[in-house]
């Protein structure tokens, strides 16, 4: 999944985010990337870049050790299209920026990065959960987009897999309606999309969010237990840390307490053999959508890796831009905590029945809605989201 880190003119800069090779001990020979390992690209700026600019951006990311680039969407219903689609339901798209996927793939080949291809997003936040029939429609459209992008890019070695852009949160699927359950979400949407992508040899990533004003770590853990038990088996859960998001000025997560929630998800992921990443919010909690200061981002990194993340990726490239990448280079951020990739790898080997070497094993109704939101301290709308309009992106968050 991770592109090989090449020796190039960028190799010195790659050390800025804590890439190091341990020469001895139980992790001998393993690359420890204790920094930001990648970034989301929603396409709002890069869709207008020429090829050489996108390639240069990927080269800068690679130099910082940020080799995982998640293209958040293939298509956003009626507004944006990021690849050359011939699907009927995407032909009314307002902004047909349909070269971002092919240009990003070419940039990845030149720079040594890996690409995750986002799928279809219908533009609907799940403040009111969709019905089973609506989920079936959403699933069907994602499957058609998946089939088309696989036909176009299935042979590209730089494509690591796909990203499911619909965001998952427990409080959408617990109490708003009797039928709005995690099991329904898995059966009618998550499972068929995940299984179809994995059948093609592509890995699947999802980035759920939570609001710690709503959920205890235990409730969050139980929600993922239910999803995984219902058959949802993505390769990666990159939980959004929520540190940048806010609702009416109130932070969704504090760096002092976010680790407990991340650990809860990490425990469940480990139990089911799902790789646990953290999707770290890079923007400030003041609706300015500017890059946060280095001290906060450093604390987020430490927290994520201490909670059990094998990788941390940032949200998003629009927040960074060239000036943000300048800051990352200057700050030389890295975490003092080692990523926990080894334990996940051993766990998966054991699940397949393989033997882990001893040396490695040692390393190892609106009224109901109003009542619900009032009880849980949530609001039905927020300006900070993977999709906040003020950020020119359709889906984050709450």
pLDDT of residue 341: 56
Stretch 64-93: mean pLDDT, rounded?
A: 95
Tokens of 365: 């109704």
Q: Is residue 38 very low, low, confident or very high in pLDDT (cuts 50, 70, 90)?
A: very high
Q: Where is mean pLDDT largest: 171-180, 267-276, 289-298, 319-328?
A: 267-276
Cis peptide before 316 (omega within 30 of 0): yes
Q: Is residue 117's pLDDT more than 50?
A: yes
Stretch 32-50: mean pLDDT, rounded?
A: 87
Element (DSSP H or E) covering residue 178:
none
- CA distance readout (Å), 333 to 35, 86, 276, 298, 323: 7, 43, 21, 6, 15
Percentage of the chain surpassing pLDDT 90? 56
Tokens of 383: 């300006």
Stretch 132-150: mean pLDDT, rounded?
A: 97
CA torsion, points 46, 150, 69, 254, in degrees to nearest 10?
110
In contact, 74 and 118? CB cutoff 8 Å = yes
In contact, 274 and 224? CB cutoff 8 Å = no
Stretch 285-314: mean pLDDT, rounded?
A: 91
pLDDT of residue 29: 30
pLDDT of residue 30: 34
Percentage of the chain surpassing pLDDT 70? 75
| Euclidean distance between CA atoms 100 and 104, whole angstroms | 6
pLDDT of residue 319: 86
Q: Which has the closest alpha carbon to 212: 378, 19, 11? A: 378
| Euclidean distance between CA atoms 129 and 179, whole angstroms | 9
Q: Which range (14-23, 49-58, 73-82, 350-359) has the least confidence?
A: 14-23
> In terms of pLDDT, which residue wins out, 337 or 121?
121
Give the pLDDT confidence of 199-242 residue by residue, as tens digits.
999 999 999 988 776 668 998 999 999 999 999 999 999 999 98
Q: Is residue 10's pLDDT more than 50?
A: no
Give the pLDDT confidence of 342-398 residue by residue, as tens digits.
444 444 444 444 433 333 333 334 444 333 333 333 333 333 334 332 233 444 544
- E-assigned strands of 165-201? none
Q: Where is mean pLDDT largest: 120-129, 219-228, 324-333, 339-348?
A: 219-228
- E-assigned strands of the chain? 19-21, 31-33, 38-41, 68-71, 75-76, 80-81, 95-96, 114-118, 120-121, 159-164, 203-206, 236-240, 246-247, 250-251, 275-281, 311-315
Give the pLDDT confidence of 239-277 residue by residue, as tens digits.
999 888 877 667 788 888 899 999 999 999 999 999 999
Tokens of 120: 């279809």
- CA distance readout (Å), 128 to 9, 238, 358, 366, 384: 50, 23, 50, 9, 18
pLDDT of residue 214: 62
Stretch 83-87: mean pLDDT, rounded?
A: 97
Element (DSSP H or E) covering residue 177:
none
pLDDT of residue 47: 94
Q: Which domains does the chain have, with CATH numbers?
A: 11-391 (3.20.20.80)
Q: Is residue 160 very low, low, confident or very high in pLDDT (cuts 50, 70, 90)?
A: very high
pLDDT of residue 396: 52
pLDDT of residue 4: 26
Q: Please give the mean pLDDT across all residues of the chain.
A: 79
Stretch 80-103: mean pLDDT, rounded?
A: 94
Q: Is 62 helix (H, G, I), strand (E, B) or coil?
A: helix
Q: Which range (12-21, 110-119, 128-137) has the least confidence?
A: 12-21
């Amino acid at each position: 999944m991770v592109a090989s880190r090449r020796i190039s003119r960028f190799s010195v800069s790659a050390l800025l985010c804590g890439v190091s090779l341990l020469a001895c001990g139980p992790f001998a020979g393993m690359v420890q990337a204790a920094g930001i390992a990648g970034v989301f690209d929603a396409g709002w700026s890069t869709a207008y870049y020429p090829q050489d600019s996108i390639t240069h951006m990927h080269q800068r990311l690679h130099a910082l050790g940020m080799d995982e680039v998640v293209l958040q969407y293939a298509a956003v219903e009626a507004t944006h299209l990021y690849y050359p689609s011939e699907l009927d339901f995407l032909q009314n798209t307002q902004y047909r920026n349909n070269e971002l996927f092919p240009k990003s793939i070419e940039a990845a080949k030149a720079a040594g990065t890996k690409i995750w291809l986002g799928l279809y997003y219908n533009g609907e936040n799940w403040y009111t959960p969709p019905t089973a029939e609506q989920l079936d429609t959403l699933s069907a459209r994602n499957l058609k987009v998946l089939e088309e992008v696989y036909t176009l890019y299935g042979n590209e070695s730089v494509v690591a897999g796909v990203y499911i852009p619909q965001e998952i949160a427990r409080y959408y699927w617990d109490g708003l309606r009797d039928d709005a359950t995690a099991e329904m979400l898995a059966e009618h949407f998550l499972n068929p999309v995940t299984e179809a992508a994995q059948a093609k040899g592509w890995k699947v990533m999802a980035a759920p969010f939570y609001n710690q004003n709503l959920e205890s770590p235990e409730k969050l853990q139980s929600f993922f237990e239910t999803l995984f038990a219902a058959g949802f088996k993505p390769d990666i859960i990159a939980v959004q840390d929520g540190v940048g998001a806010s609702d009416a000025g109130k932070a969704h997560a504090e760096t002092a307490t976010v680790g407990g929630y991340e650990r809860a998800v990490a425990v469940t992921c480990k139990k089911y053999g799902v790789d646990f990443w953290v999707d770290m919010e890079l923007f400030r909690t003041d609706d300015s959508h500017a890059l946060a200061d280095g001290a906060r981002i450093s604390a987020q990194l430490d927290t994520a890796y201490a909670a059990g993340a094998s990788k941390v990726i940032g949200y998003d490239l629009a927040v960074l831009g060239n000036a943000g990448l300048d800051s990352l280079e200057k700050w030389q951020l890295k975490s003092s905590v080692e990523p926990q990739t080894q334990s996940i790898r051993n766990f998966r080997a054991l699940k397949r029945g393989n033997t882990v070497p001893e040396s490695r094993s040692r390393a190892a109704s609106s009224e109901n809605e109003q009542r619900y939101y009032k009880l849980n301290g949530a609001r039905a709308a927020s300006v900070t989201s993977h999709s906040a309009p003020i950020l020119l992106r359709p889906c984050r968050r709450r």
